[in-house]
Amino acid sequence: MNWTKLAQEVILGKKISDEEALSILSCEDDDLLSLLNGAFIIRKYYYGKKVKLNMIINAKSGYCPEDCGYCSQSSISSAPIEKYPFLSKEEILDGAKRAFELKAGTYCIVASGRGPTNRDVNVVTDAVKEIKELYGLKVCACLGLIKDNQANELKEAGVDRYNHNLNTSAEHHSYITTTHTYQDRIDTVEKVKQSGISPCSGAIIGMKETKHDVISIARSLHKLDADSIPINFLHAINGTKLEGVNELNPRYCLKVLALFRFINPTKEIRISGGREVNLRSLQPLGLYAANSIFIGDYLTTEGQETNSDHAMLEDLGFEIELVGKQEEIFS
């Protein structure tokens, strides 16, 4: 396969075929650099060499009634995690200050549970108003299944983006969870879009899905028109249904990132949870396909030191995309 030619065709509007998509995931390791060069041609065309940094705060941990097999916070998990109710506005603001100082342009407020209470939404909206005033960060909320009025309130408060991952293909969804449907997830993203909030939705790779499942989820996210697509690589946690699952290697993870770039050429592709344990020493290569990463810790697992991420981007010759008041201080 001539990946450069295919990349140029994608920029001109071509939608790759299922056969071409499968050839990306099945690419010989000896051709991996050629594949990544093709992905980089697309990435550079739309995003140059800029990288968006995102940081999470786990605003509510544990106590979730859902049975998601990958999650240490689920009702069926026995993982020994810290559990606590929704954080206060002040604690959320402290996290925003740290995100600002670490040059993360997007601050992600994430909470466990099926969906937020009205009180939870009020805490988030109060915090967001001050975050905007103090730091000018972009704010992403990830609170589960939401109601129309809640989405509208978040939009009015200044929430820029709402994350609700599809996680896997429609066909594989029931293996991962049974307490909500694939359609529930799609409906939530559609509500977000209707409120005027930018939709963020992605995948978790490595949950015993097939290559065809991976292609399916990439196409579903294209159809959903998600502006930001986080790609998580399973970090199997003891005590969860997927404990011990370890199907990935760094080279395959890079092929997955390339696939998502070829199928969703104009979108923010973010390397997310599990990058440190799955991409390992090949993490820098992932940014030739992706244009965004999470920094700091995740929900119940640790990330690598932010200084290491900053150094990685500098070594690559890439530029951190600053927002708002960050430009005044760090430029």
Among the options 64, 185, 253, 261, which is catalytic? Answer: 64
Distance between CA atoms of residues 143 and 164, nearest Å: 8
Among the options 142, 161, 185, 200, which is catalytic? Answer: 200
Distance between CA atoms of residues 83 and 86, nearest Å: 10
User: Residue 253 annotated as binding?
Assistant: no
Among the options 71, 142, 185, 253, which is catalytic? Answer: 71
Among the options 27, 43, 108, 253, which is catalytic? Answer: 108
User: Residue 140 annotated as binding?
Assistant: yes
- The answer to whether residue 253 is catalytic is no
Among the options 27, 43, 140, 161, which is catalytic? Answer: 140
- The answer to whether residue 27 is catalytic is no
- The answer to whether residue 161 is catalytic is no
User: Residue 142 annotated as binding?
Assistant: no
- The answer to whether residue 140 is catalytic is yes
Is the CA virtual torsion 226, 232, 237, 243 positive or negative?
A: positive
The answer to whether residues 10 and 262 touch, using CB atoms and an 8 Å cutoff, is yes
Calculate the alpha carbon distances from 78 to 150, 155, 167 in Å: 31, 36, 21
The DSSP annotation for 262-327 comes to HHSTTSEEEE-TTHHHHTGGGHHHHTTT--EEEES--SSS----HHHHHHHHHHHT-EE---THHH
Per DSSP, which regions of the chain are E strands? 50-60, 106-111, 138-142, 161-163, 198-200, 203-205, 228-233, 268-271, 292-295, 319-320
> Which residues fall in the annotated binding site for [4Fe-4S] cluster?
64, 68, 71
Q: Annotated catalytic sites, by residue?
A: 64, 68, 71, 108, 140, 200, 270
Binding residues for [2Fe-2S] cluster: 108, 140, 200, 270
- Binding-site residues: 64, 68, 71, 108, 140, 200, 270
